[in-house]
Amino acid sequence: MSDTSTPPPEPNPRVSALADDVVATVVPEAVGLERRARNRRIAVSLAFTAMVTVLGVLAARGTDWFFAEHDARVASEADDKIDHEGPAFTASMRLDTQSSEAALFDAPFSAEDKRTLLGMSKEDGKLQPFMEARHGRHVSYSDVRHSAMGISYRGYSEAWLMDLLSDRQAGLVINDLRIKGLSCTPAKAVTAIEIQGQGVGGYDGMLFDLTRTDPVPLDTAADENFGKPFFAHRKIDLGNGATPGGLRIEVTSGTKDCTWKAFEATYVDSEGTHTQEITNDGKGFTVHGIAAQREQTFQARATDPFVTECTVSAQGELSC
């Protein structure tokens, strides 16, 4: 029988030479070794090179991650710093003249003014123009005279509407409000006209009684907390997209006229506890009382006679 098997092809001298050149360039230490040893050395070298490459890629990515985290942290700290620059919040103040219950006057009415006042009717609409012409100051009295407030003199209060807004990204909480730089003198007003049936609404409220040694704001909301310290159970949240806050702030000074520099708010944020002053558009505040020995008090009511004259006790209680 003849042998029909095909002998292996002879290696191409050019290909072999090219392979030797590649080995000599990439794995020079494998040159001259026996074929198996050379192949083993090439495999080890290539594996090592691949491992080094992978480690290099991982190291580069780790470095990128580290610096990315660092850059993000630095950017966040910069944002926080910018966020905390300037005032924590803004407050706009305006005197509440729309919900008053009485008016105070620095001088007694003349006999003619008194006759005019007592001769008015509810329908003729003359009372408001009469008070405005004599520069009456708008005041309230219902909260001051409520027994839950525990106010010693049943006088009057003036009120401001405060709107609070913070554009900070981080939240903050106002947890106290005090009067700063208080100074008082005897009240100038000697005459009052009270109007029954007028009330207030629309704002959460607090009242300061300046006849006390250390006045704290008392709650005027019509619930179980009426007359209690406002911030004992309430707080004002601002920033972080919180809805702007509104407050009606009443202040009573009994038989004194008082001025003060500002309301001082205490607030807490991520950096701790701070204070910020709230002024009356850059100015101070003034509240007016009624003289201890007032001269005239009148009361307007829904029933006839529309206006009557009253007597007042030493504690400010009216008898009309």
Query: Do 251 and 287 form a contact (C-beta atoms < 8 A)?
Result: yes
- Coil, helix or strand for 27? coil
Report H helices in the chain: 13-26, 35-83, 111-118, 127-133
Say which residue the tokens 């002998």 belong to. 7
Q: What is the DSSP string of 94-117?
A: EE--SS--EEEESSPPPHHHHHHH
Beta carbons within 8 Å of 298's beta carbon, 6+ residues apart: 117, 118, 191, 192, 193, 194, 307, 308, 309, 310
Say which residue the tokens 């003060």 belong to. 260
**Confidence (pTM):** 0.73
Count CA within 13 A, CB hemisphere, residue 293.
0
List the pLDDT tens digit at each of the 320 positions of the chain.
Answer: 445 555 555 555 554 554 555 555 655 665 666 667 666 766 766 676 777 776 776 766 766 666 666 555 544 444 454 455 789 999 999 999 888 899 999 999 999 999 999 999 989 999 999 999 999 999 999 999 999 999 999 899 999 999 999 999 999 999 999 999 999 999 999 999 999 876 555 567 999 999 999 999 999 998 999 999 999 999 999 999 888 878 999 999 999 999 999 999 999 999 999 999 999 999 999 999 999 999 999 999 988 899 999 988 887 888 88
Rounded distance between C-alpha atoms, residue 307 and residue 279, angstroms: 38
**Crossing angle between the packed helical segments 13-26 and 35-83, to the nearest 10 degrees:** 50
Rounded distance between C-alpha atoms, residue 236 and residue 276, angstroms: 14
Rounded distance between C-alpha atoms, residue 281 and residue 257, angstroms: 20
pLDDT at 98: 85
- Coil, helix or strand for 64? helix
